[in-house]
Amino acid sequence: QVQLVESGGGLVQPGGSLRLSCAGSGVILSMNDMGWYRQAPGNTRELVALITSGGSPNYADSVKGRFTISRDNAKNTVYLQMNSLKPEDTAVYYCNARRVSWPRLDAWGQGTLVTVSS
């Protein structure tokens, strides 16, 4: 079965950095659009960063210049490098694999918690 497993979350001080990983099994991540979403308490899940199957990245305005999404095809893993973290970045971060062409796919990981606090 398709499985996405996030890791790398934790507690970090404001201004610090974290790198999140999304490891895929049962799916080739490079064949899909890969997104990082986050959901803070009381908020709707929002798209943070996206990398297409062609390798083109895009970012939410709130994280531009601070976050970088990348893919390691050899490891079948997608990363989210988060720098200059702010308390507002505190959320559960989810990995998503989506493909609109056949065979269609919309898969989610279980999430990893990022807490930015002093």
Per-residue pLDDT tens over the stretch 67-113: 999 999 999 999 999 999 999 999 999 999 999 999 899 999 999 99
The pLDDT score that the predictor gives to residue 39 is 98
pLDDT of res. 64: 98
Angle ∠(14,59,2) on CA atoms, nearest 5: 100
* Beta-sheet strands, E only, within 3-111: 3-7, 10-12, 18-25, 33-39, 46-51, 57-59, 67-72, 77-82, 91-99, 105-108
CA–CA separation, 9 and 50 (whole Å): 18
Q: Note the Cα 71 to chain centre separation in Å.
A: 11
pLDDT value for 51: 98
Q: According to the model, what pLDDT value does residue 110 have?
A: 97
Per the DSSP assignment, residues forming a β-bridge with 91 are 114
- Residue 118, pLDDT score: 93
Q: Average model confidence (pLDDT) for the chain? A: 97
Q: What is d(CA 58, CA 83) in angstroms, rounded to the nearest whole number?
A: 16
What tens digit of pLDDT does each residue of 11-58 get? Answer: 999 999 999 999 999 999 999 999 999 999 899 999 999 999 999 999
Determine contact, residues 22/2, Cβ cutoff 8 Å.
no
| pLDDT on residue 29 | 92
